[in-house]
Homo-oligomer: A and B are copies of this chain.
């Protein structure tokens, strides 16, 4: 009996926990949108609440403080951001296909999720001033580097050669290009983006060593 009662209690407890967690992610999503719209400096709890369907007081029912809420939102972002090229990597059969698929995805997300990306760079920079996010930001940055490195590594594999640079440098350069594209996208400079896209194709070439001719 006790056991049955306990499992029942457990079931109830679990359901409540799930509900609680669901609302937490719901509010974290609203937070992410607000941050993407206004930037870190201008985002207040009342603005966040206004983007959700609740009042500002509820945020302290589900989160300890603003820090806690934003940290959660940042982790939410990670899930979205780091699996972007997995499909292309798995499916592409040749270097050219992988390169072009990667670039297509690269620029598509640059345009579609522009506000979210500018938030990422905002938070990464913010973490250079405050300790608080640093751990999470560094974790996400590591994942992003891995992601890029998988693309470059697979490219090299398909081309029968090796990457010309280290993982860190490759990521740094491609990230720099992404930032530039993002700024162009937010400025609406479409034709310049076209040019950038063409040039990125060449850069991917630079990142691979010349294949050694079979002796």
Is residue A12 within 8 Å, beta carbon to beta carbon, of the partner chain? no
CA distance in complex: A122, B40 (Å): 11
CA distance in complex: A63, B4 (Å): 73
Is residue A125 within 8 Å, beta carbon to beta carbon, of the partner chain? yes
Could you tell me if B173 and A203 are in contact, using CB atoms closer than 8 angstroms? Answer: yes
Q: Report how many residues on chain A are interfacial, defined by Cβ distance under 8 Å.
A: 38
Q: Which A158-215 residues have a C-beta within 8 angstroms of B?
A: 164-166, 168-169, 171-177, 179-180, 182-183, 186, 192, 195-196, 199-200, 202-203, 206
Given known pairs A199-B166, A203-B165, A206-B206, the reply for A126 and B179 (CB within 8 Å) is no
CA distance in complex: A195, B18 (Å): 46
A202 contact set on B, CB distance < 8 A? 164-165
- For chain A, what secondary structure do more than half of its interface residues adopt (helix, strand, loop), or is it mixed? helix
Q: Which A3-61 residues have a C-beta within 8 angstroms of B?
A: 38-42
Please tell me which one of the listed residues B129, B174, B182 contacts residue A39 in the complex, with CB atoms under 8 A apart: B129
Could you tell me if B121 and A125 are in contact, using CB atoms closer than 8 angstroms? Answer: yes
Could you tell me if B126 and A39 are in contact, using CB atoms closer than 8 angstroms? Answer: yes
Could you tell me if B203 and A126 are in contact, using CB atoms closer than 8 angstroms? Answer: no
Please tell me which one of the listed residues B122, B177, B199 contacts residue A125 in the complex, with CB atoms under 8 A apart: B122
- List the 8 closest A-B pairs by CB distance, nearest first: A176-B176, A39-B129, A41-B41, A173-B173, A172-B180, A172-B176, A118-B128, A172-B177
